Amino acid sequence: MGSGKIKALVFDAYGTLFDVHSVAVLAEQLYPGQGSDLSRIWRESQLQYTWLRSLMGRYEDFEKVTSDALAFACQKLKLDLTAAKRARLMDAYHALATFPEVKDALGALPAVPLAILSNGSPSMLEAVVNNSGLGSTLVPIISVDEVKIYKPSPKAYQLAVEKLNMSDPGEIGFVSSNGWDVAGAASFGLTTYWINRTGAPMEELGLKPASVLHKLTDLADTLKPS
């Protein structure tokens, strides 16, 4: 699909631009032999809590959800989560590593607005974006905290339309490495690009992305006029 239709690009943050499992390095230092498992269960629980809270109508911001998911992961692995260790691990979420190709990929994109639409709380997103040096590249940074419900709710994707002052959702390209997020955005009507770094199967939700890419640097070529 060429870039003629796409007038803005909106990126998911966690797992797409920022590597959530970069916290495993610190987790391994704090809990030798358990870092990888802790990172995995923490992330799985974090996502599950966003969906469950949305379904229950019991919203808490992403900082609270992330902290609660960390506590659960430590309980599941029978790890002692002291206040000091919790603080260090939560701070790590404010300085997640970007995936290696991110800066080159963003720099190669056409001259359209580049934004973030994320489940992250405003303070978490501001910290991780500024720590990555991408603060001047990604504007605006849109948080679902404004509507108090998490992706993949249509209310979350509607924020992109409103914040970018666009009337046609199909003119917004939505980029995510999370298949469920791509499905939600496609259901809403955004033009979706799935960054499938691991060759994972697509969730069976009856929705397909406009393009499946193996790395973020493939996006620029995909957007070139046909």
Sign of CA dihedral 148, 47, 42, 22: negative
The answer to whether 182 and 174 have CB atoms below 8 angstroms apart is yes
Mean pLDDT of 211-224: 94
Mean pLDDT of 116-138: 95
Three-state DSSP at 179 gives helix
For the cut 90, the answer to whether the pLDDT of residue 129 exceeds it is yes
Catalytic residues: 12
Spans of all domains in the chain: 8-18+96-222, 20-93
What are φ and ψ of residue 96, in 5° steps? -60, 145
Give CA separation, 12 vs 56, 114, 116, in Å: 24, 11, 6
For the cut 70, the answer to whether the pLDDT of residue 3 exceeds it is no
Per-residue pLDDT, 226: 64
If one compares 23 and 226, the residue with the highest pLDDT of the two is 23
76-87 in b/e form (b: 16+ CB < 10 A) is eeebebeeebee
Looking at domain 20-93, its CATH architecture is Orthogonal Bundle (1.10)
Topology at the third CATH level for domain 8-18+96-222: Rossmann fold (3.40.50)
Structure pTM? 0.94
Per-residue pLDDT, 2: 45
C-alpha 111/C-alpha 129 separation (Å) is 20
The number of residues making up the chain comes to 226
Per-residue pLDDT, 225: 75
Mean pLDDT of 99-109: 95
